[in-house]
Amino acid sequence: NDSWVLMVTAQTPTNIAVIKYWGKRDENLILPINDSISVTLDPAHLCTTTTVAVSPAFTQDRMWLNGKEISLSGGRYQNCLREIRSRANDVEDKKKGIKITKKGWEKLHLHIASYNNFPTAAGLASSAAGFACLVFSLAKLMNAKEDNGQLSAIARQGSGSACRSLYGGFVKWIMGKEENGSDSIAAQLVDEKHWDELVILIAVVSSRQKETSSTSGMRETVETSPLIQHRASEVVPKRIIQMEEAIRNRDFPTFTRLTCSDSNQFHAVCLDTSPPIFYMNDTSHRIISCVEKWNRSEGTPQVAYTFDAGPNAVLIARNRKAATLLLQRLLFYFPPESGADLNSYVVGDKSILK
Ligand code: PMV
């Protein structure tokens, strides 16, 4: 009987790096040149929802992203599918009378439907949530016994930053030493309750797709930037230690200093690339100046900023009060009619808008 379908749906939030990953030492396995640390966002806001289905009626693996069919032939999808399939176990649904043996998975095909509730490829780490969700839902469907750390090493092969989305809270991606990447995995530093005063706002400066993908950007930086080696071997290792301590102690001033400096250095190595890569725009720069001035005038930092491979600002406020003031400031300096293309805000805690 070919009429059955078995499905699993999972939801995974995106993550934002506070110490950035930029540069690979192995492009196929996606092994980074430095450790990185991120914060996983609230699943209610920026997340991917993925449904994976298996049926004997399916004749090939297929995937739809936001309702449009996309090709699964790329190496990254193939690596993730292969790795998960090799870990499949027996699955039985007695009610439906379905039994798939470990061996049986090899002959079965998958249909995958994935939705992002935020703009794809606009520097909001859509691939992070996407690959983490894909790997997690497939592991559940196929009854893989791997823990989240082991699954993170598979998600990493889809998109590096994806490995950090398998955990909530603050997460470290340990670069690892092994050539086969087995120790390049994510680990949770603290869970989401540890520092729950923080409020994260994302100022969507532009939802257009970025011009330089992170893959080609990283390659060009590693090949041409004289600064990147210094960053990877001297600067980041020290920052990782300091950042872990700042997070454990909920030390917002140190956290802010490290987060802002690391974002700025990441964009500096992009500028140091030949030809230079510009991810931020004028509005991004004005947001930085506005936050820097405010933090200085308060005497103690209220907000940390960080920008990924795009112009959108991720703003981490020390608490709800600071987030409310920040939002007022942003709306004052960048009103919708001001000509700045700051078109919307996605807010970590929407209640502050009320
Ligand atoms: O995982 P990728 O290929 O999307 O690269 C992510 C790179 C940054 O977002 C800029 C930094 C990071 O650590 O997430």
Taking the C-alpha atoms of residue 129 and residue 44, their distance in angstroms, rounded to an integer, is: 13
Taking the C-alpha atoms of residue 205 and residue 62, their distance in angstroms, rounded to an integer, is: 33
List pLDDT tens digits, range 124-139.
656 899 999 999 999 9
- Ligand 1 proximity of 157 Cβ (cutoff 6 Å): no
- pLDDT at position 126 is 66
Judge whether residue 171 has pLDDT over 60: yes
* Ligand 1 atom having least distance to the Cα of 309: 10
- Ligand 1 proximity of 39 Cβ (cutoff 6 Å): no
User: Beta strand 62-65 with 109-116: parallel, antiparallel or unpaired?
Assistant: parallel
Share above pLDDT 90 across residues of the chain, in percent, rounded to a whole number? 81
Looking at per-residue pLDDT, the higher value among 72 and 331 belongs to: 72
Could you tell me the pTM of the whole model?
0.94
- Ligand 1 proximity of 36 Cβ (cutoff 6 Å): yes
What are the distances in angstroms from CA 49 to CA 12, 14, 64, 117, 133? 7, 11, 12, 8, 7
Nearest residue (by CA) to ligand 1, atom 10, is 308
Confidence of residue 352 (pLDDT cuts 50, 70, 90): very low
Taking the C-alpha atoms of residue 126 and residue 131, their distance in angstroms, rounded to an integer, is: 9
What are the distances in angstroms from CA 165 to CA 45, 46, 131, 172? 14, 12, 9, 10
Instruction: Please give the distance of CA 91 from its chain centroid, rounded to a whole number.
Output: 30
Q: What is the CA radius of gyration of the chain?
A: 21
Judge whether residue 19 has pLDDT over 90: yes
What would the mean pLDDT of 237-254 be, rounded to a whole number?
98
ipTM over 0.90: yes
Taking the C-alpha atoms of residue 115 and residue 64, their distance in angstroms, rounded to an integer, is: 8
Q: Which of 52-66, 201-215, 273-287 has the lowest mean pLDDT?
A: 201-215
Query: What is the whole-number distance in angstroms between the Cα of residue 38 and the centre of ligand 1?
Result: 10
- pLDDT at position 346 is 47
- pLDDT at position 350 is 43
- Ligand 1 proximity of 306 Cβ (cutoff 6 Å): no
- pLDDT at position 335 is 80
Note whether 171 and 38 are within 8 A (CB): yes
- pLDDT at position 160 is 97
Confidence of residue 203 (pLDDT cuts 50, 70, 90): confident
Judge whether residue 353 has pLDDT over 60: no
Q: Which of 3-17, 34-48, 53-67, 254-268 has the lowest mean pLDDT?
A: 34-48
- pLDDT at position 127 is 83
Query: What does pLDDT average to over the chain?
Result: 91
Q: How far apart are the first and last CA of the chain?
A: 54
- pLDDT at position 124 is 64
User: Beta strand 303-306 with 344-347: parallel, antiparallel or unpaired?
Assistant: unpaired
- Ligand 1 proximity of 279 Cβ (cutoff 6 Å): no
Q: Which of 70-84, 150-164, 296-310, 328-342 has the lowest mean pLDDT?
A: 328-342
- Ligand 1 proximity of 267 Cβ (cutoff 6 Å): no
Query: What is the whole-number distance in angstroms between the Cα of residue 299 and the centre of ligand 1?
Result: 32
Residues composing the chain: 354
Instruction: Please say whether the dihedral angle defined by the alpha carbons of residues 354, 290, 304 and 32, taken in this order, is positive or negative.
Output: positive
Query: What is the whole-number distance in angstroms between the Cα of residue 20 and the centre of ligand 1?
Result: 7
- pLDDT at position 256 is 98
28, amino acid identity = N
DSSP states of 251-316? -HHHHHHHHHHHHHHHHHHHHTSSS------HHHHHHHHHHHHHHHHHSS--EEEE--SSSPEEEE
Q: Which of 22, 236, 277 to mutate to test the pocket of ligand 1 (most atoms within 8 A of CB)?
A: 22
Instruction: Please say whether the dihedral angle defined by the alpha carbons of residues 42, 331, 303 and 287, taken in this order, is positive or negative.
Output: positive
Query: What is the whole-number distance in angstroms between the Cα of residue 172 and the centre of ligand 1?
Result: 13
Taking the C-alpha atoms of residue 207 and residue 118, their distance in angstroms, rounded to an integer, is: 9
Strand partners, 116: 48
List pLDDT tens digits, range 321-340.
999 999 889 888 888 666 55
Note whether 284 and 330 are within 8 A (CB): no
- Ligand 1 proximity of 40 Cβ (cutoff 6 Å): no
Nearest residue (by CA) to ligand 1, atom 8, is 308
Note whether 174 and 185 are within 8 A (CB): yes
Closest listed residue to residue 117, CA positions, set 129, 108, 105, 107 = 129
- Ligand 1 proximity of 34 Cβ (cutoff 6 Å): no
What would the mean pLDDT of 300-329 be, rounded to a whole number?
94
Confidence of residue 209 (pLDDT cuts 50, 70, 90): low
CB count in 10 Å sphere of residue 264: 14
- Ligand 1 proximity of 127 Cβ (cutoff 6 Å): yes
- Ligand 1 proximity of 20 Cβ (cutoff 6 Å): yes
